[in-house]
Structures are given as structure tokens and as C-alpha cells.
A = this chain, B = another copy of it.
């Protein structure tokens, strides 16, 4: 983090982090308050949907604090502060939230118990592996090492995409008509939003560094996290509501 950010860039990133703290906290409370309105079989999905945004809320709070501590404003210009910005919070967050995102998607589909355990374990395991393989590359000094871990990390990613696209299609066909377009939207949103992360990872490997790249990277990760967690969560909530209604559930 030796980039010399402009004051505008520093504030932009700072405001994005604060915005995300508010979004994640609000999303968590929304999912947990509205949990009582879905039928009991979908409540675990709502609990976990809120857990994902809650964990992200916690980490964005840490990220915000770390960003503030990493820079000092001296005479209106941004200078390196006492500590360096801790990017690892993102990986710690993903290690927890990315497997949980897979679990909430499987839970809201309400498959048989056996199928739920099998598919959730498979997708959550792959997701954890994907993040665990990405981190050594993120902190690697050598470009070759970073690229090698990117390739390794892409293997579970491709298997996840394949499972979401092909492996789940038969289970999606069994969803009630009212919920089908939303379940598909959740699958495709996952694939598209998750593509952003490996692309951004490649930035420093192809020479994109400095304050502009840093600003784009922080803002981009933030938007991707909001889409992949909060917007995805709203889709899960809508699926749970539609299916509850289709199954004749009356909220009390």
C-alpha cells in the first residue's frame, strides 16, 4: 500500500466502506425480522442469509477502521499512516460467507434431506477450497506463485459454476412455477457476481497497480460483495416467500 491516493480517492473508498457497513447491517436485520413471515422449512435459509450479511457487516467495520488507520490527512493530502491496510479481512470474510452462500441457496430449494446434505457439503467444501487457494496467491511476492494459486483456485470455481448450472438444473425443474425464475436469477447472479473476484485478482499480475487500480479494486470488491450477499439475500427471501405462499403457509 504505497500508492499515493488523492484525497478524493481516499474519501471515495472510505465512504464506500461506510455505505457497505450500513447496507450489511440493514440487510441482516431485514432478513432476521422477516424470517418469521416465511414457512418454517425456509427459516434456516433466512437465518443463514442474515448470517452472511452479519459476518460481512463485521468485516467491513474492521476494513473501515483499518483503512482509516492506514492513512493520515496532512495539509489536505493523503499520506501513509502508522499501519498498513489489512486486506486479509476480505479473505477471512469470504472463507466464512462464501460456503454459507452456497448453503442458503441449497436450503431455500428445499430438496430431500439426503440431497440437501450432499449438495450443500459439496458446494460449501468447494467454496472454502476456492478461497483457501486464493489467499496464498494474494500475499505471494512472486508473480508466478500468485498466478499458480489463481489457476488452482479457479478449479473449484469452475466446478461450482458447473454444479450450479448443470448439477442443479434438474432440482430447479422441480421447484414450483412461481419460484423458478427467482431461483434461476439467484444461480446466474452468483455466477456473474463471483466472476468479478478472479478478474480483479489478476490486476496486479498484469501490471495494473497504483492509486487508480487500488481505488477501483476496493470499490469493485465492495460492490461485488453487496451484490453477492445482500442482493442475493433479497432473492433468497423472495424465493422463500413465494414458496411459502405456494405451499399455503399463512404468516401469523
Q: Using a CB–CB distance below 8 Å, which chain A residues touch chain B? A: 11, 15, 18-19, 21-23, 25-26, 29-30, 32-37, 40, 43-44, 47-48, 50-51, 54-55, 58-59, 62, 73, 82-84, 86, 88-89, 92-93, 95-96, 250-252
Contacts and interface: CB of A to CB of B under 8 A. Distances in A.
B73 A26 contact: no
Q: Is chain A's interface secondary structure helix, strand, loop, or mixed overall? A: helix
B82 A26 contact: no
A47 B33 contact: yes
Nearest to A74: B82
7 contacts: A11-B86, A15-B92, A18-B62, A22-B93, A26-B54, A30-B47, A32-B33
A94 to B, nearest CB: 11
A96 B26 contact: yes
A251 B15 CA distance: 42
B83 A18 contact: no
A218 B45 CA distance: 33
Given A43-B34, A44-B34, A251-B43, A88 B15 contact: yes
A17 to B, nearest CB: 10
Contact of A22 (B47, B96, B250): B96
Contacts of A32: 33
Contacts of A55: 22, 26
A22 to B, nearest CB: 5
A25 B37 contact: no
Contact of A11 (B36, B88, B95, B251): B88
A83 to B, nearest CB: 6
User: Chain B CB within 10 Å — which of A11, A33, A95, A252 has the most?
Assistant: A33
B21 A58 contact: yes
Contacts of A29: 47, 50-51, 54
